[in-house]
Every structure is written in C-alpha cells, then in structure tokens.
Amino acid sequence: MQKRAQATWGGRFSEGPSALMQGFSESVSFDCRLAPYDLRVNRAHARMLCAVGLLEAAELKEIESGLTAIEEQVRAGSFIWDQALEDVHMNLEQALGQLTPAAAKLHTGRSRNDQVATDVRLFFKDAAAGLDRRLAGLMRALVRQAGEQREILIPGYTHLQRAQPVSVAHHLLAYVEMLSRDRLRLAQAADRANWCPLGCGAIAGTTLPIDREATARELGFVDAKGRPRITPNSMDAVADRDLFLDFAQACVVIGIHLSRMAEDLILWSSREFSFVDLPDAFCTGSSLMPQKKNPDALELIRGKSGRLAGNLQALVVMTKGLPLTYNRDLQEDKLPIFDSFDQAELCVRVLTGVVDGMHFRPEICAAAVADPALLATDLADWLVTRGVPFREAHHAVGALVRRGEELRVPLDKVPQVEAEAVHAGFQSGWTEVFDLGRALRARERPGMPGPRRIAFELRRWEKTLAGDGEQVGRKPGR
Ligand code: ARG
C-alpha cells in the first residue's frame, strides 16, 4: 500500500516516508518546547505580511485567533503533537490549517530555517534571564552566609595543604565573584541572541516585499534605543550556531564553578575537616551503613558538570565540518542546549538550598586555624620589616619550621635560643606574629581578607544584589 506523501513538502514525492524514517527524522518530541516562541514568531510574521499587503486583514484576524486558540491548547497540555509532522513548526502550521484556510499563506516569505533560528534566539534570551535569576539567588545565599560567618576563620589551602588563614566570608565571596562572571557571560550571550534572522528564508531571503524591521521590532529584537536589530547576511543567519556554543560554554563554566564549590563543601563536611554540617534535606543515607549522611546533592552537581561539558562538545563536533548553510545535522542542536539549561538551572537551585541550610562549626574551624604554621609566611614578612631580604627570610623561617619539627614543638614554641641560632633576625618579639587577629587586620588592602575589607565587600555585594536578579545581571558594553 502506498503511504501518503508528506503534507507540507510532499509535492514532488510519490510516497511518504517509511515509519522508520518518520521516527528517525522527527524532532517534535523535543522541539515542542519551542512552541511558545514559534507561536509568537507566527503572529509577528502574519502581522507583517498583512502590513505589506500579502495577507488580507480578515485573514490576519483568523490567523491570530487561531494562534490564540492553539496557544491555549499548548499551555493546557491538550495540544496533540504528531510525529508524522516532523517538528514543532509543521505541527503548529497544520493545526492552524484545521482552523482557517488562511493558514496556507502563513509560510509566505519564510522558511523553517529562519523560523527555527528565530525561535531559538527567543529561547536563549529567556534561558539566559532565567539562569541569571537563579545565579543571583545563589549569590544572595552565599553573601548571607558570609555575613553571618564573618568572624569564623579557617585555614586556606593550596595543593590541599594548609596555607594561610582566611575568613569563611572571604572564601564564600570568592564563589560570589565566580558567579558574577557567569552572569556576565550569560548577559553577553543574551546580547548576541538579540539579532533577528526572520526573513532570511531558507538561504537567500525572498522575492516578496517583506519588512524584516517590523518583525524584528515586534519580537523585541531591538537595541537600547529601540531600533530593530536584524542579521545582515541571510546565509550566516540560517547557518550560524555560535549562540548554541556561547550558551553551552557559559553553562560549562557555571558547571565548573558549581562543581568546585561542591567539592569544597564535600571536603568541609567530611569527618576529617568537619568545618560544616550540611542540611539533611540535601543529603541521603546509606542502605547498609546506618551512620552515613552522604553529600549526594553536591556529588551530583560535580557529576552533572561533566554532562554540561559533554553537551558543548556535542555541539562543537556537530557544527565544525558543516558546509554553509543549513544542514539537517543542526536539528540535533536543541537537545544539548535544553539539557544544559535544565541541568545548570537545577544545579544552581540545589546548591542554593545546600548553602542556605548549611551550618558552620566554629569550634572546629577555630582549632584548625590555630595551627601556627599557617603564619609562617607572616613571620617571613616580619623579618622583611626588620631589613632581611625576603628570600633569606623565607629560608630562615623554613629552617625554623624544620627545627620545630625536630624538637617536636609547634612553630611558635621554638625556644628563643634555638630561634636565634637559626637566624640572628629572630630577636625577641618574633612570636607576636602568632596572633590571628593581628594577621587578618594586617590584610586590609584591596582583594585581601582583612575584616574591614570583608565588611566593605559584603556591603558592596549586598547593594549590588538588592532588588537585582529580575533581569540579566550587568549590561554588556554596547
Ligand atoms: N526541525 C528542523 C530543525 O530543527 C527545522 C528546520 C528544518 N529545515 C529543513 N530544511 N528541513 O533543524
């Protein structure tokens, strides 16, 4: 039996696609997510067609009310998606055709190639703003914790070895800096998304008198002054997938940042560190070991960051060898992008919950930071203030550390005679260095963890974040 030719493009075909081909070629199972954007694009396109005389006013009216009806069905979840119609665009157009014959004119002067490129740009603008809001929420949680724990000092680590004392606030504000750069990256991606490809057709535009500025304006593709922004080259417009790479890349970096935070918190919550107690609501137990409380939420964040990197990789490999312009390979571009957005957003929300609910253990932090070796560098600085060249001071303190280890005494308890034998610069008074308050107060210059500097930074972030998060963070330079 002969299968019916495909309704939308079947004119030159004597039979329709095999069932296997249909299932293979469909994208509606995932691109139906673009329906709200596709409907907006349809409405803007129809209005423009009417304005330039390619559609009667009565036809536009029917198309508009049809689109509204379909929109309601989509929103209510009652719209029936048909795989045989391939993708979201053809499903919506066919549904409109059931409501009005004017639907047959809707595809005038456009192609699915410029249509999908326009839909995804609208999606990216929303996705960037949504993720930005979530990141602002996580930043607020971090700033709040930093403010509450500003008195708590902990060892800072390099090579995961104790290095120098810092405040918990300084450590948490480091994440805040990282996240603020993520928001900037998202804002830049959203700005690059803000160019309208609609009207570029399949590859070379159209012979019909369409008005690209009008649709761009109606869809919000405008600059700061409200002037329409339209893509200048029709071939680039339908072939370009830079935005997918930009957005996926922004998600990769977000994932890396979240994963590094997760790793710190996993370490801090381990019995060996015990700096922090994680909220039960974001931990799980063991099916066998009754005592366990595992940081699964954080481990999943660490794991999912790999998935975000994989999504970028899929897009890079997919696009790198494609001849201009549109190739069907590009239908595969949506899954990694949707996944990166969904997973990045989820990870940010979960980490916000963890940060909101975690409790520091001040006594354990205090015991860890009391290790006088953390101030060995300050001792070298002390020698420098007495005229010893830094290299020599570094060597002298190193020798003092070794002597302490030989004598089995902490660095600040090496007897005076022993210290002077190591280096003549260790005159009485060198032990004044071993005072944490003094050590931190000596670090008030920009970027450092001094208490006044931290108070300043906290105020700066509180101000920046107050009422922020309603739109993409900082505006990119125009
Ligand atoms: N579903 C297609 C995609 O996402 C839409 C564009 C189809 N264009 C085409 N020439 N077959 O890529």
**Domains in the chain, start-ordered, CATH in brackets?**
17-108 (1.10.275.10), 113-207+219-367 (1.20.200.10), 371-442 (1.10.40.30)
pLDDT value of residue 14:
84
Mean pLDDT of 371-394: 97
Q: Is 241 in the pocket of ligand 1 (CB under 6 A)?
A: no
pLDDT value of residue 7:
66
How large is the angle between the packed helices 88-99 and 57-76, nearest 10 degrees? 120
Q: Is 193 in the pocket of ligand 1 (CB under 6 A)?
A: no
Distance, C-alpha 162 to centroid of its chain: 30
CA angle, residues 432, 438, 442, in degrees to nearest 5: 120
Q: What is the pTM of this model?
A: 0.94
Mean pLDDT of 81-104: 97
Name the residue at shortest CA distance from atom 3 of ligand 1: 331
Whether pLDDT at 2 is above 80: no
pLDDT value of residue 16:
84
pLDDT value of residue 290:
86
- What's the pLDDT tens digit per position in 295-306? 999 999 999 999
- What's the pLDDT tens digit per position in 258-268? 999 999 999 99
Whether pLDDT at 478 is above 60: no
Could you tell me the distance, in angstroms and rounded to a whole number, from the CA of residue 124 to the centre of ligand 1? 18
Structure confidence at residue 289 as a pLDDT band (50, 70, 90): confident
pLDDT value of residue 21:
94
For residues 376 and 163, what is the distance between their CA atoms, to the nearest angstrom? 9
Q: Is 113 in the pocket of ligand 1 (CB under 6 A)?
A: yes
pLDDT value of residue 245:
98
Name the residue at shortest CA distance from atom 2 of ligand 1: 331
Cis peptide before 325 (omega within 30 of 0): yes
Mean pLDDT of 448-462: 97
pLDDT value of residue 5:
64
pLDDT value of residue 13:
87
Structure confidence at residue 476 as a pLDDT band (50, 70, 90): very low
Mean pLDDT of 28-38: 98
Residue 88 CA: which ligand 1 atom is closest? 1
Structure confidence at residue 4 as a pLDDT band (50, 70, 90): low
The residues annotated as belonging to the active site are 159, 286
Q: Is 423 in the pocket of ligand 1 (CB under 6 A)?
A: no
- What's the pLDDT tens digit per position in 321-336? 999 999 999 999 999 9
pLDDT value of residue 428:
86
For the CA atoms of 204, 232, 335, 87, the dihedral, rounded to the nearest 10 degrees, stands at: -40
